[in-house]
Structure formats: structure tokens, C-alpha cells
A = this chain, B = another copy of it.
Amino acid sequence: MAGIKEISKITGLSLATVSRVFNNSSLVSPKTRAKVMKAAASIDYQPNIMAASLRSGKSKIIGVVVPEVNNYFFSGIINGIEQIVSDSGYNIIISQSHESQEKENEALNSFLKLQVDGILISISKETTDFSSIQKIIKSNVPVVFFDRVPDLKNINSVTLNDYKGGYMATEHLLNENCKNLLHISGDSKVSIFGERQKGFLDAILNKNSIEYTIVELTSSIEMDREILKKTFETNPKIDGIFAYGDEMGLHVLNLLKELHIDIPGKVKLIGFGNANFSGLTQPKISTVDQECSQMGELTATLLLNTLKNSKSGPKTKVLSPRLIVRESSLSTKV
């Protein structure tokens, strides 16, 4: 591995000067800079980040923890992050928690050992013990939470207004003349699902003659199907469904087809998340967009700013969701 020493030898300049060239210090003459760059090219020089980090205390690495990478929403966020971070000289490293508290802690520890300069994280559904997270915060590594945030004070966060999203989705069903709603909720202890549920309830509040059911599904899809089947049998008057996610929406679509219940004829359906397949189903699933790319960009920007002006106090940003009306929730075919 050819290093800075080699370049110093070739050019006859000191290590310091060579180093300065690569750190864009203004205190180098153009001639010297050119000479160094030429030598660097000739030996195919790659700066050793490890050494630089060790000395400077800055690794130029940002750690990102997401529950799952194979997910339209999170991968959209990652793309947003990459976009912002790419020309700032930082590298990002991605870890998946696979919705496990343990793996999340492992990832966080790895990041610490790697001396990352900052951490971006959306916590797992399972995470209820925030001690690891608080350890990180105390260790003075800046953290920005996105989408799924822990219930802690004084943290940086970028979230979606899930309450509003739930409200909008429900309101849309009501506008389409649904009278008997079903909300298929995720685990309401997870912040985002709880908020969507609240939005659902508040949209119905004060509306007359609207009935509703809520089922909270947290198990396997096979079990969920059975529960839903029972729900439809018990409650055949259901004419509007708000599913907490598009994937669940797709399952509902298939289940109702099996039960020979027409969507949107008999029952209207709306999902959440604007997954890539939601516009490709039959009928196309109405949904709520989560502005993932924007969320990624904001999250990264927030961290980058914190990295610049060390102490600026915790910042919070809440994005507004966007209703996307497609075929599954419309009485009039499009």
C-alpha cells in the first residue's frame, strides 16, 4: 500500500505538505499541489482512512440502522441519505436490525467500535429498552432518528405525521360513503402504527352513524389471514378498510377475492406506504405516500448540520403524508 511517505520521497516534500494537499488546505502553492497530485497518481495512491481517523478523531463514516433494507420505504430513505451525504466526503455504512432489539444493539456497538461520526436510525418494532440508544447519545456521537423514534426527550428526529396520514386515509373512505370501517392496525405500541390508529379514530369521532372495528395484527401472515377471515364473517357489513401498510392491503385484496367480495364495489380499501407494487395490483391500491426520499434527505441534512455546529440543540422535523387515490377505494371506476 503506497502511502503519503512514498509521495513525500518522490516529490522531496515533507509529509505535512503532502498531507495538506489531500486535506485541501489553502496553504499550499498550486505548483506544489500539482507535483503532489502527479506523484499520487503515478503510484495509485489511496489515502488510508483508518490512519486519518485515528489521528483526527473523525472517521468520516456515518452509520445507518434500518429494520429492513428490502423495503420500498427504507430503501427510499437510504437513497435520500446517499444523495445528501455523497458529496460531503462522508461514507455511509448500513446495518439491518431485522426488527430485533439484539441485532440493533449489535449494529450500534459495531458503529461505536468503528468510531462513526454520526448515526441515523429507525428503531426496530421490538425495541422497548432504550439503554443502548441512551449510551450512544451519552457518548456524544450525534444521532438522528427517523420514522420510528424512541420515546425520549431531547433527540433529533425526522418523522412522518402518521396521525395525519391515518386521518386522511380514513376521511377518504368516509368521503367515499363508507359507513362501516375496519382498521387493520400494526402493533399500536410502535409509534407509527399507534399514530395511524389515533388518526383513524379521530377521523371517525363526531361522525354520526359510522361503525368501526379495529384488529391489531402482529403475528404471521397465516394467522392474520385467519383472523381477518373471521372478522369478515362476524362483520359482513364492513364496507371500508384502512390497512396499516400496502403489503397487508395486498393480502386483503387477495383474501377478499377468495371470499368473492368485490373491491371496490362492495368494500373500499386503502393502504399505507405507497409500495412499489401498490400501483401494479388489480385493482390498484389507494395509499398514503410517506415521502421517503425527502425524509432521507432531511435526516442526513440534519446530521450534517449537527456535525458542523457541534451544539445546536435537538431538532425535530415532521413531514406531511400525501394521499394517493387509486382504484381500490373509488366507487366510480377510473
A-side interface residues toward B, CB under 8 Å?
A: 1, 44, 46-51, 53-54, 59, 68-72, 75-76, 78-79, 82, 91, 93-94, 96, 109-110, 112-115, 135, 139, 250-251, 254, 257, 276-277, 280-282
Contacts and interface: CB of A to CB of B under 8 A. Distances in A.
B282 A254 contact: yes
Nearest to A94: B94
Contacts of A78: 69, 96
A115 B1 CA distance: 10
B110 A91 contact: yes
Nearest to A281: B281
Nearest to A276: B70
B277 A109 contact: no
A112 B44 CA distance: 11
A228 to B, nearest CB: 15
B280 A250 contact: yes
Contacts of A93: 91, 93-94
A82 B70 CA distance: 14
Given A93-B93, A96-B82, A282-B282, A113 B48 contact: yes
Would you list the 5 A-B pairs with minimal beta carbon distance, nearest first? A70-B75, A93-B93, A277-B277, A49-B113, A50-B53
A115 B250 contact: no
Contacts of A75: 68-70
A70 B44 CA distance: 34
Nearest to A51: B54
A82 B107 CA distance: 12
A138 to B, nearest CB: 9
Contact of A70 (B46, B69, B96, B114): B69
Contact of A114 (B49, B54, B72): B49
A89 to B, nearest CB: 11
A109 B45 CA distance: 11
Contacts of A251: 280
B282 A46 contact: no
